[in-house]
Structures are given as C-alpha cells and as structure tokens.
Amino acid sequence: MLEAVLLPLANSNVAKGAFFLTTLLTSLDNVVDNLMTKESANYDDVCTKLLNLYSHKSPAETNTAFTTTNVSRSDKGKRKEDKVCTYCKSQGCRGIGHVVADCRTWKRDTTGGNASAETVIENGPNLNDY
C-alpha cells in the first residue's frame, strides 16, 4: 500500500527536484530561492543549473586546500651537502654544509676570537688582514 503511494512521488521529476533542493547546504539558499521561483523546478533543471554554476571554476580557484605556491630555493633551502663555505675552502678545509654568512670559523677569525655574531653584524667584519 505504501509503495503504491510513494512510487508516483519517486518517479516525479518535480518532487525529486524539490527534495534535492531541500538537502542542499544553507550557503546555497540564494540559488535555491532562484530555482524555486520557477513554476516547476524539476530534477533535471536543478542539476543542470547547479552544474553550470560551478563548472567554470577549477578546484584550485574555489578551495584553498588545492592551492599551490611556487617557492624559490635560496641558500636556506639547499641541502646541507650543496652548501660550500668559500672561507673554509680557502683555509684548506672542506667547508661543506654551511656558507660564509653562517661560518663560525670566519666569525671567530674576523673578530679576534672574542666577539659574538651580533658584533660582527653590527660592526662588519674586520677585513684588514686579507
């Protein structure tokens, strides 16, 4: 008996369209209102309209989870093996794993062994010995 009542409702495109519209998110209320102003918003019309609204945007434009950025690699982004300190190389060491800006040996030698890195940055290196 229940099947005889619900079967025509399930086969009706207008009923399916109305049911589908009631299940949409509240963020689409404006779209739902626009579709409901039609006299008979059937299921096919609702699906077509919703697909047309969102088909022109790619996922990267609509969802920040898919957004990518291009990051250029600087000295900080290089692998440790790729960094070579020219100061250490000139002193006969390997100088692998850091650059002159981060070189503790260069900082020690240029400040006489008693200055901190902040002093070297503020006053500049002592290049008179070179």
- Mean pLDDT, each 10-residue run in order, the chain (130 residues): 84 85 84 78 83 66 55 58 85 86 88 60 55
pLDDT, residue 20, reads 84
Q: Count each helix (H run) and each strand (E run) in the chain, helices first.
A: 8, 0
Burial class (CB in 10 A: 0-12, 13-18, 19+), 73: exposed
Contacts with 50 (C-beta within 8 Å, 6 or more apart), sequence order = 31
Q: What is the pTM of this model?
A: 0.38
> Residue 76: what pLDDT?
57
The token duo for 88 is: 């250490």
